Amino acid sequence: MTEKNKNPLILVPESTASLMKSISGKSKGSSDDLIYCHLYGVVGDWYLSEISEDREIAFGFQIINSEPFWEMDNWLTNSCDWGEIPIKTLQKLVNDKFLKEKDIRFLITRDLFWEPIKFAEINIEQNTLFYPGTTDRNFS
């Protein structure tokens, strides 16, 4: 594993991106999709199955559940669905808001021990990382 791969704050290193399928533009997301990368933070989880050639956008399943009093609407929108994931934007939030400003709301990290797995085999009903407070992963 290269040094960049060992840094969980590098969200999608090239070695991981090179394993992923290219975004086709026709992706809908399904339980059979292979998830190559898992990102997680206090606001949720991102499961990545595809990535753009420029490595700025991924496709996958995202669960974002920020509490209203966290005031994160300017950066992230609550969701629980398949769609495009702005990797470049997430990395910028990690670099600028978490690393520079030390704002814990923007801690987003890569699961270093993740192995590619079908989406159907992931328990998405359990938060990966809990923020001290009232986070509730209610999907209804």
User: Chain-wide mean pLDDT for the chain?
Assistant: 86
Residues 2-39 pLDDT 10s = 545 789 999 999 999 999 999 987 888 999 999 999 99
pLDDT tens track for 75-133: 888 888 999 999 999 999 999 999 999 988 899 999 999 999 999 999 887 666 655 44
Give the pTM.
0.85
- Tell me, what's the pLDDT at 43? 87
What pLDDT does 135 receive? Answer: 46
Q: What is the mean pLDDT of residues 32-54?
A: 94
Domain definitions of the chain by residue range: 3-115
Taking CB atoms within 8 Å and a gap of at least 24, the contacts of 25-34 are 27/59, 27/82, 28/82, 29/59, 29/60, 29/61, 29/81, 29/82, 29/83, 29/119, 30/119, 31/118, 31/119, 31/120, 32/118, 32/119, 32/120, 33/60, 33/118, 33/119, 34/116, 34/117, 34/118, 34/119
- Looking at residue 129, what is its pLDDT? 61
Is the model more confident about 1 or about 80? 80
Give the pLDDT score at 75: 86
**pLDDT of 139 above 50:** no
| Structure tokens given for 31 | 């339980």
